[in-house]
Amino acid sequence: MTAATHLGWVDRHGRLHVSEAPRPGGEPEAVTVAQAGWPGVDGLLHPRPDPSAAHALPDGSGTLVLCDLAAPDGTPSPWCTRSLLADVIDRAGRRSLMVIAAAEIEFFLLDPEEDRPVFENIEQYGIVAGEPYEPVLRRIRDLRSSGVPVVASNCEYGGGQFEVNLRHGHALPAADEIILLRHWAREIAEDEGYRISFDAKPWADNSGSGMHFHQSLWDGERNLFWDEPEHLSPQGEAYLAGLLEAMPEMTMLGSPSGRAYLRRDDFSFCPTSACWGGDNRTVAVRVIAEREPVTRIEQRDASSDANPYLALAAQVAAGLDGLDAGLSPPAMVTGNAYGRDDLPPLPSSLTEALARFAVSDRARGLLGEEVHSKLVEFAVADCASDETSERSWF
């Protein structure tokens, strides 16, 4: 079999679209902006392969190269979410800083006939409960051979729910890896006779699925966030403050569906207020500062069905804004953050998130006027329908 090259581009929702690469000398087939997830927007987008984002296909039959979507004149398109994240990372690069990120992502395995989780009991970290699904989970861990650096998997706090941890690395590849993981995990699950769901809240009576991003800034070999155990550096504190300040108005980028807000509930382990803490699972942002190599900030509010480029771009931009402005974070929360009325609440519905996002100059500045306006338009339509009724493709 001849090794084939495939090209992949990502739509607004964070879905990967794959096609065969053109013959040598040919051009990748253009896609319409509408096909890229922006209905109502005219124009074409041209896939531009990123040679640094080449991944061996899991079956060994060839290579998949991720693409940016460029405007017809070859310049980066505002409709390309991957390019948006790259722009934000460049902003750090101009300060000679590297953005390092790692993701944890949760999902459910489903019995395709019953449309229910493969097991019903909560079995968090359960070794025995996970064993029957090892044919799926092992192949997901094996995605390392395709450049998706899976470190580990475990059962999560929902019947039939699992979590996969990815190794930290540069932020753009870290987001790419989420796209690839979701795409290939779906193929693997179906190949093994299951279905997989990255929906934020597939069932009202079960846990929701989150996508946590761990992030840090590095100046060469120096972790800019490190100061001493359990303390962030002043730069780390400023970045943290930026995350917290922006979180309510940028929530929609990490929680794009109405269903994502069904997981935002007190005592759900999903944050409900823009607050931070140390070793605390009730806060929105955890600070993990034990040793320099592992010191990082974990933002915990995004859902598994988010577009990771949008979610991470919003977070990193907010952190960099905090750094630029020299912000100071509010007091650390110790103990239970749920039910506290002295903490800034996070949106509890898509309608609330939209209201904050629609008037956000920060969001407009990050995305550009056109993209911001389109996202508002789509969310208005989602809110006009029953915003939580449809389980998403994810």
**78-86, 190-198, 212-220, 271-279 -> range binding another protein (CB under 8 A):** 271-279
User: Judged by CB under 8 A, does residue 316 bind another protein?
Assistant: no
Q: How far is the CB of 102 from another protein (least distance, A)?
A: 13
Contact 257, 343 (CB under 8 A): no
Three-class SS state of 39:
coil
Helical packing angle, 171-191 and 134-141, nearest 10°? 150
User: Judged by CB under 8 A, does residue 331 bind another protein?
Assistant: no
User: Judged by CB under 8 A, does residue 138 bind another protein?
Assistant: yes
User: Interface mask (CB under 8 A) for another protein, residues 71-110, using x and -?
Assistant: ----------------------------------------
For another protein, give the closer residue by CB, 132 or 365.
132
The C-alpha atoms of residue 358 and residue 374 are separated, in whole angstroms, by 10
Q: Tokens in use for 26?
A: 């040919």
Cβ atoms < 10 Å from Cβ of 288: 17
**97-105, 251-259, 282-290, 319-327 -> range binding another protein (CB under 8 A):** 282-290
Q: How far is the CB of 180 from another protein (least distance, A)?
A: 16
Cβ atoms < 10 Å from Cβ of 265: 14
The C-alpha atoms of residue 139 and residue 118 are separated, in whole angstroms, by 17
User: Judged by CB under 8 A, does residue 291 bind another protein?
Assistant: no
Which residues, numbered 240-269, are part of the site for another protein (CB under 8 A)? Answer: 267, 269
| Number of residues lying near another protein (CB under 8 A) | 41
Residue length of the chain: 394
Q: Which residues contact 58 (CB under 8 A, 6 or more apart)?
A: 139, 142, 143, 145, 146, 184, 187, 188
Q: How far is the CB of 293 from another protein (least distance, A)?
A: 11
User: Judged by CB under 8 A, does residue 130 bind another protein?
Assistant: yes
Contact 302, 313 (CB under 8 A): no
DSSP string, 89-103: HHHHHTTT-EEEEEE
User: Judged by CB under 8 A, does residue 137 bind another protein?
Assistant: yes
User: Judged by CB under 8 A, does residue 121 bind another protein?
Assistant: yes
**Among residues 144, 222, 326, 359, the one that binds another protein under rule CB under 8 A:** 144
CA quadruple 194, 187, 264, 126: dihedral positive or negative? positive
**Among residues 153, 215, 233, 235, the one that binds another protein under rule CB under 8 A:** 153
Query: Which helix or strand (DSSP H or E) is residue 153 part of?
Result: strand 150-155
**31-39, 123-131, 189-197, 382-390 -> range binding another protein (CB under 8 A):** 123-131
List of residues contacting another protein (CB under 8 A): 121-132, 134, 137-138, 141-142, 144, 150-154, 157, 165, 167, 267, 269, 277-283, 290, 334-338
